[in-house]
Chain A
């Protein structure tokens, strides 16, 4: 698994003033759509936004949609906390941990928002014809709660003592991959009361039985509502959750006087990725190239599968030139899964070769199947 790329991030608009995003009444109400790209030049993978403009602190949801004017359909939703643009620091960049590759070539790309602030603007960041390994695999991002303010819990009033847990979702009815949470916000002002170190525990489990999934830490810059400029808090890599897993959070800080309610929402990919795709059956190809089938060898060896009766080894399921469009798609193994009782193992290989100085990337993929005749 690699998070490297040899592709260049693109922006819409490029080398131009960001596009003004219409606002709505509140986070439950859609704004109008505004066009970012009239025609996608190829398949696109959405990375995120670079924000600008003048706005008050607010939770915002952004739908990225495709379709002609008046017929737009949302394909993915991003959510973050936008800190008052006039405060210390500025909300600038919101990147997803894995680009969402859901924009088809030729599509018209638009954005709408749900928030009650004003004069927000943005540039959209994306990759064209993504070839990188770390993309969502056609999975959209979304949030919980959605189209509603986040869930809140007040501080304990004691230095570094935990708040109560508060549940963000009782569980989604399918597997999800947790990105993180939107930045902490107090709906009536900033969440922080001064220069303050804080921690947020993300927990899973039923109320009263929460187990810490991960902990976020940070520091506010101080100054009343200022310095809480954290649009999102992302894990280093997504956390996979099984269906119907309740998710909660609690927080603590080094400031006893901070009993403000902190409000968060859960950000996630709506499945684990390509593991949810259908699992086709692999049918081995013909005898490997360079092999002349023969009968059982007589020198004590076993020979090669496909060449010799009782032979063993690996055979290319997809010979060179056959294309990888027919390659099987498998679920990832379950963590800790044993090979006991299994009849075979698939090895998929992808080699990315970059030619310098041109930077031309060539990707070679092979799928090898260990056959069960040994």
Chain B
């Protein structure tokens, strides 16, 4: 057992210049066009993360959930290799949320690849100015950093996160499970979670979320995440796990429940989603 390490520099694209600007679609959760980040990578790249901005210089005036998708391929033939899910409230997009690291970097950008990015959102507003920067490692790299050729995906995807409620009567008591998948189509590893808007009003509290498998009424908790929610000021809208959780086999139903310490605005609700890769990695 040891610490995974990387012997090559992490680089940024575009670097020391304006980020890529992306105009969203005017339809809810419809993909935008692909916007070319660069026409051809000089060598193979491993995608380590994105820095996103859902509003740019435009004050959106509305809360919005959105997804960024990084794709590889010629125009009209782009293949997604990583999707991130985010949320922007009425404020100016908290900085913590701008960085979207990919816990298991994606090794799916061969040398000479055209790289493009598109977005989709829960809004019909087209004046919102989405921007993106990626960071990556060039291949070959030295070290033991784990990578995967499998895309990072979101659950749910191309849709708003699912509303999960804590107990309506008691602080730190579990709410009911909400089904995220009736049956996984393949084995997956879960690498992170995402947050959307609160459903039951603003609140300040730490929350615990159990991610479970099993039939309704027989769920078995596979892992738990904990985070802080601070009124309308934010929460971790995009949060990689400490380690990827490898406990979600094909065919399993996946459900999530929440509890927290809030007693003032019951029932407390949050919109939650998951980040994952399909196996084998």
CA distance A133 to B259 in the complex (A): 30
Partner of A92, one of B1, B105, B227: B227
CB within 8 Å for A332 and B2 given contacts A89-B233, A219-B51 = yes
Question: 4 more A-B contacts (CB under 8 A) besides A160-B16, A273-B3?
Answer: A92-B228, A95-B242, A234-B101, A357-B214
Partner of B144, one of A52, A137, A237: A237
Write out, one digit per residue, whether chain B residues 243-281 have a CB within 8 A of any chain A CB (1) or not (0).
Answer: 111110100100000010100000000000000000000
Chain A nearest Cβ from B235, distance in angstroms? 6
Q: Are B10 and A15 in contact (CB under 8 A)?
A: no
CA distance A227 to B56 in the complex (A): 14
Q: Are A89 and B145 in contact (CB under 8 A)?
A: no
How many residues on B have C-beta within 8 angstroms of the other chain's C-beta atoms? 81
Partner of A236, one of B105, B224, B230, B247: B105
- From 205 to 262 in chain A, residues with beta carbon under 8 angstroms from any chain B beta carbon are 212-223, 226-231, 233-240, 252, 254
CB within 8 Å for A89 and B3 given contacts A125-B226, A215-B10, A215-B135 = no
Q: Are A221 and B94 in contact (CB under 8 A)?
A: yes
Chain B nearest Cβ from A161, distance in angstroms? 8
- From 95 to 139 in chain A, residues with beta carbon under 8 angstroms from any chain B beta carbon are 95-99, 101, 123, 125, 132-137, 139
List, in ascending order, chain A residues with CB within 8 A of B94's CB.
Answer: 88-90, 221, 227, 229
Is residue A47 contacting chain B, with contact meaning CB distance below 8 A? yes
Chain B nearest Cβ from A125, distance in angstroms? 7
Q: Are A85 and B2 in contact (CB under 8 A)?
A: no
Q: Are B6 and A6 in contact (CB under 8 A)?
A: no
Q: Are B226 and A226 in contact (CB under 8 A)?
A: no
Partner of A50, one of B15, B17, B104, B226: B226
Q: What is B's interface to A at a CB cutoff of 8 Å?
A: 1-7, 9-12, 15-19, 48-49, 51-53, 56-57, 91-99, 101-105, 131, 133, 135, 137, 142-146, 172, 189, 204, 206, 208, 213-214, 220-230, 233-236, 239-247, 249, 252, 259, 261
Q: Are A85 and B243 in contact (CB under 8 A)?
A: no
- From 29 to 57 in chain A, residues with beta carbon under 8 angstroms from any chain B beta carbon are 47-48, 50-52
Q: Are B5 and A237 in contact (CB under 8 A)?
A: yes
Q: Are B17 and A160 in contact (CB under 8 A)?
A: yes
Write out, one digit per residue, whether chain A residues 142-175 have a CB within 8 A of any chain B CB (1) or not (0).
Answer: 0000000000000000001000000000000000
Most buried by A among B3, B48, B249: B3
CA distance A107 to B181 in the complex (A): 40
Q: Are A217 and B51 in contact (CB under 8 A)?
A: yes
Chief secondary structure at chain B's binding surface: strand
Is residue A359 contacting chain B, with contact meaning CB distance below 8 A? yes
List, in ascending order, chain A residues with CB within 8 A of B56's CB.
Answer: 195
List, in ascending order, chain A residues with CB within 8 A of B52's CB.
Answer: 219
Is residue A3 contacting chain B, with contact meaning CB distance below 8 A? yes
Partner of A16, one of B103, B146, B220, B261: B261
Partner of B133, one of A92, A123, A217, A233: A217
Q: List 9 A-B contacts (CB under 8 A).
A: A11-B226, A51-B228, A99-B243, A217-B15, A217-B51, A219-B99, A226-B95, A229-B96, A272-B5
Is residue A269 contacting chain B, with contact meaning CB distance below 8 A? yes
Name A15's closest neighbour in chain B (CB-CB). B172
Q: Are B242 and A96 in contact (CB under 8 A)?
A: yes
- From 1 to 31 in chain A, residues with beta carbon under 8 angstroms from any chain B beta carbon are 1-6, 8-11, 14-18
Q: Are B242 and A218 in contact (CB under 8 A)?
A: no
Q: Are B223 and A177 in contact (CB under 8 A)?
A: no
CA distance A99 to B1 in the complex (A): 11
CA distance A16 to B245 in the complex (A): 24
List, in ascending order, chain B residues with CB within 8 A of A236's CB.
Answer: 6, 10, 48-49, 101-102, 105, 137, 145
CB within 8 Å for A134 and B221 given contacts A15-B259, A18-B206, A89-B234 = no
Chain A nearest Cβ from B95, distance in angstroms? 4
Name B195's closest neighbour in chain A (CB-CB). A92
CA distance A86 to B102 in the complex (A): 28
CB within 8 Å for A92 and B96 given contacts A160-B16, A214-B9 = yes
List, in ascending order, chain B residues with CB within 8 A of A332's CB.
Answer: 2, 144
List, in ascending order, chain A residues with CB within 8 A of B261's CB.
Answer: 16-17
CA distance A177 to B6 in the complex (A): 10
Partner of B222, one of A8, A91, A215: A8
Q: Are B208 and A3 in contact (CB under 8 A)?
A: no
Is residue A199 contacting chain B, with contact meaning CB distance below 8 A? yes
Q: Are A14 and B208 in contact (CB under 8 A)?
A: yes
List, in ascending order, chain A residues with CB within 8 A of B48's CB.
Answer: 236
CB within 8 Å for A91 and B96 given contacts A8-B223, A9-B223, A218-B51 = yes
Is residue A362 contacting chain B, with contact meaning CB distance below 8 A? no
Most buried by A among B48, B245, B246: B246
CA distance A240 to B143 in the complex (A): 9
CA distance A99 to B234 in the complex (A): 26
Is residue A374 contacting chain B, with contact meaning CB distance below 8 A? no
CB within 8 Å for A5 and B208 given contacts A215-B15, A230-B95 = no
Q: Are B9 and A215 in contact (CB under 8 A)?
A: yes
Q: Are B3 and A238 in contact (CB under 8 A)?
A: yes
Most buried by B among A99, A236, A356, A359: A236
